[in-house]
Structure 1
Amino acid sequence: MSAARDAAAAQHYPQGALYVVATPIGNLADITLRALHVLQLADTLACEDTRHTQSLLRAYGIDKPSDRLLALHQHNEAQAAQMVVQQLQAGQRVAYVSDAGTPGVSDPGARLVAAVQAAGLRCIPLPGASSVTSALSVAGAVAPTADSGGFLFAGFLPPKGAERAAAVQRLAAEPRCVVLLEAPHRIAALADTLADLGERPVTLARELTKQFEEVSTHPARELAAWLAGAPQRVKGEFVVLLHPLAATQGDGAEAERVLRLLLDELPTKTAVKLAADIAHASRNTLYERALQIKRDAEAAGEHG
Structure 2
Amino acid sequence: MTDTGALRSLASMGVGDWTDTENDAIVAAYFSMLSDELSGRPHNKAVQNRVLQETLGRSRGSIEFKHCNISAAAKGFGLPILSGYQPRFNFQMSLAEAISRWLARHSQWDSALGTHPASGVAEPPALFVGVAPTLHNAPPPVELTQMQAVARRFDVAGRDERNRALGRAGEERVLHHERMQLQQSGRQDLARQVRWVAEEDGDGAGYDIASFTPDGRVRLIEVKTTNGWERTPFHISRNELEVAESRREAWCLLRLYDFSRHPRAFELRPPLDTHVSLIATSYQANFH
Give the alignment's TM-score, normalised by structure 2.
Answer: 0.26
More strand by share: 1
Give the alignment's TM-score, normalised by structure 1.
Answer: 0.25
